[in-house]
Amino acid sequence: GSPVPPEERRLRDKKHLDDITAARLPPLHHSPAKLLSIEESIAIQIQQKEAYEEMQAKLAAQKLAERLNIKMLRFEPEGNASMQYREVRDED
Instruction: Report which residue type is found at 34.
Output: K
State which residues form the domain around 62. Answer: 37-67
**pLDDT values of the chain reduced to their tens digit, one per residue, 92 residues:** 567 788 888 888 877 777 777 677 777 777 778 899 999 999 999 999 999 999 999 999 989 888 887 666 777 767 655 556 656 566 65
Q: How many domains does the chain have?
A: 1
Rounded to whole angstroms, the Cα distance separating 70 from 86 reads 31
- Is residue 46, in this structure, part of any structural domain at all? yes
53 part of a folded domain: yes
64 Cβ contact partners less than 8 Å away, ≥ 6 residues apart: 70
Residue 23 in domain: no
- Nearest Cα neighbor of 21 from 29, 13, 30 is 13
* Residue 84 lies inside a defined structural domain of this protein: no
- Threshold 0.75, pTM exceeds: no
What pLDDT shows up at residue 74?
Answer: 73
**pLDDT at position 8, please?**
86
Task: Establish if 45 belongs to a structural domain.
Answer: yes
| 82 within a domain of the structure (yes/no) | no
Residue 41 lies in a domain: yes
Please, how many CA atoms are within 13 Å of residue 2, restricted to the half-sphere of its CB? Answer: 2
Residue 8 lies in a domain: no
pLDDT at 47: 97
